[in-house]
A and B are shown apart, each in its own frame.
Chain A
Amino acid sequence: MSRTRTPVVTGWFVGEGDEFRLLGTRCSACRSVFFPREDTHCRNPGCAGGELTEVPLSRRGRVWSYTDSRYRPPSPYVTDPELPWEPYALIAVELESERIVVLGQAVPGITVADLTVGMEMEVVPGVLDEDTETTWTTWRWRPTGVA
């Protein structure tokens, strides 16, 4: 049976391959950008409140900081307790034009040893986990120039 590909959170990203983008919202009154998206209220205290419209975020940014998860995180993170734990890197990436830092997992195979603060990264689609019916998709950070 083939699984359905479903975003782990609705409306946070869209597209495949080079077309993949994180999705935020932008306030029409003050131009503030929000990720995760704000759809009902602008959080700028000096803004009377404009219309919030969906906006794709920049694909590329630079590493603000990074770490990794050497131990299995607790639920609701989904892991197979039968398999040995494989640490993954977490990367906080600063997007220049949005002036926002977005946390994400690194693509598999990239470890903290491959990373430095300031390194250029790009967002790519990834698979978070799978169950019998669903492949849960997510975003990942990958150093630019890595295929």
Chain B
Amino acid sequence: MAADGGGVMTAEVAVLGAGMHPWGKWGRGFVEYGVKAARAALADAGVDWRDVGSIVGADTVRGGYPGYVAGATFAKALGWQGARVASVYAACASGSQAINTARAQILAGLADVVLVVGADAAPKGFFRPAGGDRPDDPDWLRFRVLGATNPTYFGLYARRRMAVHGDTPEDFAQVKVKNAAMGALNPNARYRKRVTAQEVAASAVVADPLRLLDICATSDGGAALVLSSMEFARRHGAAEPVRIRAVSTVTPRYPNTVLDLPDIATDSAVGVEPGGETFRASIVRAAYEEAGIGPEDLSLAEVYDLSTALELQWYEDLGLCGEGEAAKLLREGMTAPGGRIPVNPSGGLASFGEAVPAQAIAQVCEVTWQLRGQAGDRQIPGARVAITANQGLFGHGSAVVAVR
């Protein structure tokens, strides 16, 4: 079972507090955003920072050395108080690996209360690789040799869906329309305006067939969670807290036959027959197995809509519909509020833009508020079970199952 990366149900941890610094382009440093989010999460939990036994930071590669030791950076900014510290980097899954590190410490009895923080200050324009000539680095190579920015990969996936499943640019635009309508209701979102399909169609093509409004921006932002043991939560007076039931952080399986960022080629399937399950689907399956639930149990999902077309891909990877049926699910309104399984009630990356190490934590903040019934105008009534899903560079991805 261990080699399967899941399959065994684990004990739960409690989400005592959630907090965010609003997403935007604020022009300040990532530490400020992280500290604001951390203080908000601690206040939400009713926990004094000095009583936190461990802090886990999700690293940013854009903040110099302090970004690589984010846990310590945030601990120092909040005031050294002797907590155990860890810092993790896993590209877009950094935030959920930080959550998983905190969970593992709690379940192992190393700490009762853990603070998880991620924050980023994003540059203008495309993400780009670290400087210097590094021909051994696939991320450097894809830019040097091909000029292949992140949106070009999103464009490849979108075109593939159009060719194989018959999705249309109009379908993609409807994802943006849906998510923007929810983002308009979210005070932490960067973009808080409704968007029409006409506005999507009138925006400039960035990477055919995707247009500017199909692709998520890069943002500043910060998110934090206070996690604890169930025993601590009870002693603390949280009788019925949101609980994290599963965190999937599995890696791909060889041969990975879908072209993933930042690679120039897939694995070859000539030596080993592919298993028939994509990496994204395996991330989700591991989370379902660990939580002992299936897609039919979900009240809502927060997925990584780096592009509108990728949100549709997640519907299939989550098992919300069969392969190729995502656009139909969207058209029928099943993933909108009031539908069978609302997706991205936060407004998604379409409304936030990506603040890499904070984003997967922000997804869990949103499902926490939804499961508590505290999501205000965007509340999904009666939410009991939620999943988050994300994927990033270099074989990283995650899914978190939370329940109440």
Contact = CB atoms under 8 A, between A and B. Distances in A.
Interface of A: 8-10, 24, 27, 30-36, 43-47, 64-71, 73-78, 88, 90, 92, 97-105, 112, 116-118, 128, 138
Contacts of A65: 156-157, 159-160, 163
Given A9-B141, A74-B149, A33 B208 contact: no
B144 A76 contact: yes
A44 B156 contact: no
Nearest to B135: A9
B316 interface: no
Contacts of B265: 35-36, 100-103
A100 B269 contact: yes
A44 to B, nearest CB: 6
Interface hub of B125, B160, B164, B209 (most chain A Cβ within 10 A):
B160
A53 to B, nearest CB: 14
Q: Which 3 A-B pairs have the closest CB atoms?
A: A67-B155, A32-B271, A73-B147
Given A9-B145, A68-B155, A105-B146, A44 B272 contact: yes
A33 B128 contact: no
B33 interface: no
A139 to B, nearest CB: 9
A146 B204 CA distance: 30
B48 interface: no
Contact of B271 (A33, A66, A73, A78): A33
Contacts of A99: 257, 268-270
A64 B259 contact: yes
Nearest to B159: A65
Interface in B114-139: 125-126, 128-129, 133, 135, 138
B147 A100 contact: no
B264 interface: yes
Interface string B147-175: 11100100111111001100000000000
Contacts of B266: 100-101
Nearest to A74: B128
A74 B259 contact: no
B394 to A, nearest CB: 14
Interface hub of B157, B259, B269, B271 (most chain A Cβ within 10 A):
B271
A127 to B, nearest CB: 13
B208 A68 contact: yes
A117 B164 CA distance: 9
Given A36-B264, A43-B254, A102-B265, A117 B270 contact: no
B143 A69 contact: no
Nearest to A67: B155
B205 interface: yes
A90 B160 contact: no
A120 B269 CA distance: 20
A27 B270 CA distance: 11
Contact of A75 (B128, B145, B163, B259): B128
B144 A67 contact: no
Contacts of B270: 31-33, 97-100
B152 A90 contact: yes
B42 to A, nearest CB: 38
A90 B143 contact: no
A35 B141 CA distance: 13
Nearest to A95: B268
A45 B208 contact: no
B160 A64 contact: yes
A59 B284 CA distance: 37
Contacts of A97: 270
A25 to B, nearest CB: 10
A78 B208 CA distance: 21
B49 interface: no
Contacts of A92: 156, 259
11 contacts: A34-B268, A36-B264, A47-B271, A67-B152, A67-B207, A76-B133, A76-B144, A77-B144, A88-B147, A101-B257, A116-B163
B156 A70 contact: no
Contacts of A103: 142, 146, 148, 156, 259, 263-265
